[in-house]
Each structure stands twice: as C-alpha cells, then as structure tokens.
Amino acid sequence: MILMNYTKFQYKLFNFLFLSCFFSLSTLAQNTLTEYKKTYPDYNELIINNQQSYNISIENKKLKIIQDNHFESMILSENGIQNNKESFSYSNLVKLNNYDAYALFNDNGKEKKIKVSQSNEKPSKNGSVFFDDVMVRELTFNNLETGSKKVYNYQTEFIDPYLLHKFIFGDELPIQNSTLEITTEKDIEIGYKIFNDPNNSIVFSKSEKKGKWIYKWTLKDIKPLKYENNAPGYLYIVPHINFYIKNYVIDNQTNNVLGNIDNLYSYYKGFIKDLNKEEDTLLKNLTLEITQNKKTDEEKIKAIFYWVKENIKYIAFENGYEGFIPREASLVFQRKFGDCKDMGNMINCMAKYAEIKDVTIAWIGTRSLPYTYNDLPTPAVDNHMIAVFKKNDNYIFLDATDNETNYGIPTAFIQGKEALLYENEKYKIVKVPIVPAENNTISDDVSLSIKNNKLIGTGKLKLEGYNRSHTLMKIGDTYNKTRFESIKNLVLKGSNKFNLTEYNEENKNDKDKPYIINYNFDLDNYIIQLDSDLYINLFLDKFFDDLLIEKNRISDFDFEYLTQFSKNYNLEIPKKYNIKQIPKNFSINNDCIKADFIYELKDGNINLNITLIQKKLTLNKSDFELWNSSIKALKTNYNQVLILSKKI
C-alpha cells in the first residue's frame, strides 16, 4: 500500500536500500560468527550476554523484589550443537512469574526466531539433599546449527528480602558480556560485597533516573572457569557479587534488614525462638535413661550426641522456610530422620531435658563458602547448622550428620570456619579449630621376612581421627568379598602382586578408640636378585608421591584434613645374607611438610621408621613451589634400596 504512492525513482531506491540492507545483514551475521570463532578458537559455544536486572520497590508498605534474567549464547562449532539444553531454577521463596525461550537462526540475512517447544519442569538434583522445593525448568533447543543462538528470559519474584542471590561473573563457557543491574527507589538502601576481583576489572556505575537509583556492574571477555581437583570451591576463584538490602523507609520509619551481624542474628533468632515449647515425655524419659549413669555434663552430652548419630538418620529435606527453621525435636524423634538443623535442635532439646548447661545450636558455613561474618553478614555466609557444647572456655562442635566422627572433633568440612551461636541471649562468633595432623594418624607396624625370594608380612594398621571415621564411612556395612577387597585396598603395599591372606578388625563400633586392622600378606616379584645380591625397597607405602601440583594451576589446593603417617617396617635379615648397603637417613621440615626416614640395624633386623606430617590444610599458590620441591625430595628417598649380599 505504501509503495503505490512512491515515484518510480523512489521505488527503485527502496529496492536498492532493501537489498543493500539484506546483504549487509547476511554479511554481518557471517562476519560476527567468523570473528567469534577467531577470538574464541578453542570453544564450541560463546555466551554473548548474561544479565540479571533487579527492580526493588515498595508496594502496599512492603518490599517487592522482581528479578529479570536474560541469557544469549552462540554455537561456534558442530560440537557445540550437542549442547542443546539450558535450564534455570526457582522455588517457593523465589517464585517464577514467566519465561520465554527461543532459538535464532540466520535465514538469508534475517534473524529467524523459533520458540522452544520442549520445556520440562523437574525437581533439582542436589546430591546432599533428599528433597527440596527447588524446581528446574529445562529447555531444549532443537535443530541448532553453527551460528545459531540460544536465548531465554525469565522473571522471578523474591518472597523474602533477606534471601537475595549472588551474581556470578563466570561460567564453563567464555562470556562476552556479563551484567548485574539493580534499580531501587530512593527510600531503599542496598549493600554489596565484591569477591575475587583483585584487579578491579568489574566496571561499576551508579546513576539516577526518574527518581530511582540504578546500580550497574559489568565484566566483559570472561575466560571460562577451570575446574581443578582439590579446589576449595568455585566461589574462591570466580568473580561475584553478594548484595543485600540494608534498610528501607515506610511512613518515615526506617526498617533495618541486613548489613551487620546484629541484624542477621535477629533474623535467625526468629526461626528458633518458638522451638520445643511443649515437653515430649517419651523423648525426655529416653534422655534421662541414656544419661542416668553419667556424672558430668560432658559425659551426658557425649551420650546424647552418640545416640542421635546412631538413631536419627541424616536426610536433608528442605521446603521453603523448612530450609532454615529446625523441625520440632519431638517430630524428628518420631520420624527417626532429619537434616542438620533437626539434629542440632534435637541435641539441644535433649540437653535441656538432661539439665546440661551451655548447650546451644549454631549457624555455620562449610568450607565450600569463602565468607566470614564480617565480610558478609547475610544468610549467604551459612549453609549448615550444628549443636555446640561449651566446656569451660572451650567449645565442642556437635555435628551429628557424620555418623562416624567421634566426640570432641568437628566434622572435617567445617574446620577453620566461624560458627554463630547464641549465648546468654547474645550472639557470639566462635572459630572452629583445624584438627592437627597428630590427631588424625595412620600408623602401621609391619614385620617382614623373606621366604623363597618372596616378602612375607604381618601388619597392624591403626586409624585415628578423620582417617578412622572417613575410612569406616567408605567401607560401610559391607561384608564377605566386598569387605575383603575394601580392606585389601587399605593395607595394599608394594605392587599389584600384593596378596592379603587374612585379616581381622578391632573397634569398628567404638568411636572413641582407633580402628585397627590386623593382617597377614605376601608380596611376590618385589625383591630383585642380581647375582648374589638382593635389592629391597622398604618403602612399601609412598605417601604423596603422585601429588605434584601443576605449574599452571589457578586454584589453591585444599586437603580434606591433615594427616600424620607413622610407619614402621622391620625386616628380618635372612641368616645366609649380610647387609651390603643401608640407605641414608632423611629429614625435611618446612612450612608444608615434616618428614623423617630413619634406618636402624638391631638384633639382626633392619628397621625403617617413617614419620610424615602435613602442616597445611590449604596450599596457597605461594606454597606450590615449596610443596613440589618437598615431594620431589620424598620421591628421591622413596627410591633408595637396601642391598643384602649372600654370605660366601
């Protein structure tokens, strides 16, 4: 209709401009793909834009928080086509309002949009949680090709202003642009904390528009995350922002939300103030029964702690605020299962029935979170709850989620972390100690003899602390052949010719005693004979010999716990042989490792005593060179051999 009013010249001009635009779009699309492939030659896909926008306002005298999310990526290679699924999550506390998803294709110079028709809602898969209310919306993009784009948008609403999410500037794929934008009314004050941006690469701006504040953070050309073994967790390396609402004003009255530990503690206290108000007669009677012969508070709380560990099954079950509020002790007692909060609350309730003083529950973050309460006084700092018993001026951390850990040491995954507890109606922050290596020993006394050029051995392996609990958790309740193989792997020595002939176990069910394995074995094709000489390497165990840290490693190197290895090998010298060469003793002692290898000739036997102690739970990048040089020194000494010469 419009073209009918054009002159012939104008019509030709229109066609010329249209065709020019057509070819320009086609060329631009191809150039864009070519440039992307040139810039990111090693990747199958590029995230072009990852953006979150928050609009925080006051409606009906309450905070209203709307989050809009935009994601756009481009397929760069044939292999990238296989990645045809994307997903996002939501829950009862972060409700999904709407979403839209489509693929964009270059159709002769035009961008052709094809909406996603395959979309499934399913529960999230969290290995540590039996059930939670987090749902995942999975999107399937069909008929993708090189150069096509995946795009999706979704909007959520936060029900609780205390539970705002973090924004992460990173992914497994490279990202061209990543942006967080927060728009607030002027009566709303926010706070934020940036992590892992040492060079201040994240560009920040604050502007005013239509009487509102607009905060914006942008990071461009982000390299993909590199996942490495024994990394402390991705939040220790990826740039990210945690933000929160500090306060807001309604009717000239300021309402505090977060921003300091007092506010966080007040929020938490609301979850526990009404717990266990009604007495449970059955639970109380049971508590008095299991503590009746105990004289001290510590003996009583220990008995309660072990009862909960042995009789309440740990199952993480989270639904809305149930992820924050412990369930009534009477309900957990009835069900015989609960999560970390439930177990902590049950220990606390039973302690009150037994009239034990100085027992409380505490909030704590596991070692996967890099935050302290001073860094980030928000719920993002915590993901766990435990009970705590104050013994004089010391604190005993009672985490019943680990069935095997003995009383007196915390679970390994909270070592070095801060616990927030209430004491005399006030909060207190207590740091969980790192359990020293000498409390987590692996000791082994082995007697060796030589028969027909085969090593014959008898050993006594003793595991204490975390080595005891974690070993028994791995073995579990296995029996017969399965248990035999598990034990064999524990005591394995020398080479794959190791043959475990028999074994027996001690103290499997006594958490306060070392777990002991008594075993007999033989080891064939281990002794080397050259002419009249026998060559024997007494290092049947070589600790950390394959644990050299790569030069290009990005993350710190994190151990689950510290260990002290104490091994003693005593070899009976055959009567027809003399000792021709004994390896030299070796010692090393630095900030990472302490080791002593001592050889001793006594009563016709040669004895090798090995002590090796880890000193650092986490190796920082500055430790890598020292660690590697230490391991190389150990490896050199592991290869030293004892030489026996046949008597003439």
Encoded tokens for 390: 């104050």
Res 317: pLDDT: 58
pLDDT interval class at 388 (50, 70, 90): very high
Encoded tokens for 266: 């007040």
The answer to whether 111 and 74 have CB atoms below 8 angstroms apart is: no
The answer to whether 627 and 556 have CB atoms below 8 angstroms apart is: no
Class of domain 437-646: mainly beta
372 burial via Cβ count (<10 Å: 0-12, 13-18, 19+): middle
Which amino acid appears at position 647 of this protein? K
Was domain 43-256 assigned CATH 3.90.1010.10?
no
Q: CA–CA distance from 54 to each of 61, 192, 211 (Å)? A: 19, 14, 16
Res 453: pLDDT: 87
% of the chain beyond a pLDDT of 90? 85
- 3-class SS shares of the chain: helix, strand, coil, % to 5: 25, 40, 35
The Cα–Cα gap between 325 and 348 comes to: 14
pLDDT interval class at 132 (50, 70, 90): low
Q: What is the tens place of the pLDDT at every residue in 456-495?
A: 999 999 999 999 999 999 999 898 999 999 999 999 999 8
Q: How open is the CA angle 281-284-288, to the nearest 5 degrees?
A: 135
Write the DSSP assignment of 42-76 as a string of letters.
T-SEEEEEEEEEEEEEEETTEEEEEEEEEEEEEE-
For 275-291, what is the mean pLDDT? 97
How many residues does this entry show for the chain?
648
Q: Which residues partner with 118 through β-bridges?
A: 140
Q: What is the tens place of the pLDDT at every residue in 86-112?
A: 999 999 899 999 999 999 998 887 889
Q: Phi, psi at residue 492, to the nearest 5°?
A: -50, 135
Q: What is the tens place of the pLDDT at every residue in 185-208?
A: 999 999 999 999 999 999 999 999
SS3 state at 526: coil
Strands (E), 186-270: 188-195, 203-209, 212-222, 240-250, 253-256
Give buried/exposed letters for 175-213 (b at 16+ CB in 10 A, else e).
bbebbbbbbbeeebbbbbbebbeeeeebeeeeeeeeeeb
In the chain, the N- to C-terminal Cα span, in Å, equals 116
pTM above 0.85, yes or no: yes
Q: CA–CA distance from 517 to each of 467, 504, 511, 642 (Å)? A: 13, 6, 15, 27
Q: To which H or E segment does residue 346 belong?
A: helix 340-353
The Cα–Cα gap between 64 and 610 comes to: 64
Res 495: pLDDT: 87
Res 625: pLDDT: 97
Q: Phi, psi at residue 474, to the nearest 5°?
A: -70, -40
For residue 563, the number of C-alpha atoms closer than 13 Å in the C-beta half-sphere is: 17
The answer to whether 459 and 445 have CB atoms below 8 angstroms apart is: yes
The Cα–Cα gap between 367 and 476 comes to: 25
Q: What is the tens place of the pLDDT at every residue in 335-372?
A: 999 999 999 999 999 999 999 999 999 999 999 999 99
Q: What is the tens place of the pLDDT at every residue in 507-524?
A: 999 999 999 999 999 999
Question: Which of the listed CATH numbers 3.30.1360.120, 3.40.50.970, 3.10.620.30, 1.10.3470.10 matches domain 262-431?
Answer: 3.10.620.30
Q: What residues have CB less than 8 Å from 612, skipping those under 6 apart? A: 543, 544, 564, 565, 593, 594, 595, 634
The answer to whether 344 and 361 have CB atoms below 8 angstroms apart is: yes
The Cα–Cα gap between 46 and 40 comes to: 8
